[in-house]
Amino acid sequence: MKSILSILALLTLTTVSWAQTNRDEYVNAFPSPYNEYVTFNISARYGVSMPFGGQKGYIDRTSPTNFALEGEWLFPQRFSLGLKTGYQYAKQRLGRQVIGYTDGNTGQDVSAVQTRTLSIIPAMASLSYYFADNTAAIRPYVQFAGGGAFVDYTNYFGTLADQKSGFKGAIAPAIGLKYYGRREQGFGAEIQAQYQNVFFNYDQLKNSSPSLMLSAGITYRWY
């Protein structure tokens, strides 16, 4: 009896293994839509930003308030075209001091607590190249983005404010990695390191506004 049960168990395992192998061969016999057609990807990330250059001269602290949203058209040749935006905010408060303040054509000395703020809303087009095909579970990439950004510079002197805003040119090269867990899975995770330079110059913020943003979040691909 034990011998019969052992033979039946072996036959069952062999049959299941054969069926699974045939299924995998059947699935892999047809090319994936990800590698045959233009497909799509969307990502949302949260990040921290570190200032450099002129931006560090205005606000020298790391900003914890940064969000990024990207959409991409994925081409079978491992590159993508996309659009990206988001919201970046930095703030630093300085101790009370006497500051020369100009309001229009009138200059005066003001004793006040200075609160420096900087808001950036990028609007860029991106070109990315992936080092793995569109179905891969792990997809490292390099990216270059360019376009512009809306910048709001507001420096508060107590209740007074020195403000300048406008849309300026911007560039943002980046490297990153998307991780889906397995081939052709839709949802995944993403990390990215982006160097951004917004060509904005005003008062305390000189020689443009560069920063390095490290971000992580979720990504989703579909066809």
Specify the pLDDT at position 4.
46
CA 44/CA 30 separation, integer angstroms:
31
DSSP letter for each residue of 149-181: EEEEEEEEETTEEEEEEEEEEEE--EEEEEE-S
CA 121/CA 184 separation, integer angstroms:
33
H-only helix segments in 29-123: 33-36, 53-58
CA 84/CA 146 separation, integer angstroms:
10
Specify the pLDDT at position 61.
94
| Domain spans in the chain, listed from the N-terminal domain onward | 1-222
Tokens describing residue 85:
């935006």
* Cβ proximity of 83 and 69 under 8 Å: no
Specify the pLDDT at position 26.
42
The CATH fold of domain 1-222: Porin (2.40.160)
Specify the pLDDT at position 191.
98
Q: Compare 28 and 120 and report the one with higher pLDDT.
A: 120
Q: Phi and psi for 202 in degrees, rounded to 5?
A: -165, 130
Give the count of beta carbons closer than 10 Å to the beta carbon of residue 29: 7
Biggest CA–CA distance in the chain, Å, is 105
Question: Residue 17: pLDDT band by 50, 70, 90 thresholds?
Answer: very low
* Cβ proximity of 116 and 155 under 8 Å: yes
Prediction pTM value: 0.82
* pLDDT single digits (tens) 119-135: 999 999 999 999 999 99
Residue 116 has pLDDT above 90, yes or no: yes
Specify the pLDDT at position 23.
43
Q: Phi and psi for 6 in degrees, rounded to 5?
A: -65, -40
* Cβ proximity of 66 and 47 under 8 Å: yes
* pLDDT single digits (tens) 151-206: 999 999 888 899 999 999 999 999 999 999 999 999 999 999 999 999 999 999 98
Specify the pLDDT at position 208.
86
CA 186 to each of CA 43, 200, 223: distance values in angstroms, whole numbers, following the listed order: 12, 38, 9
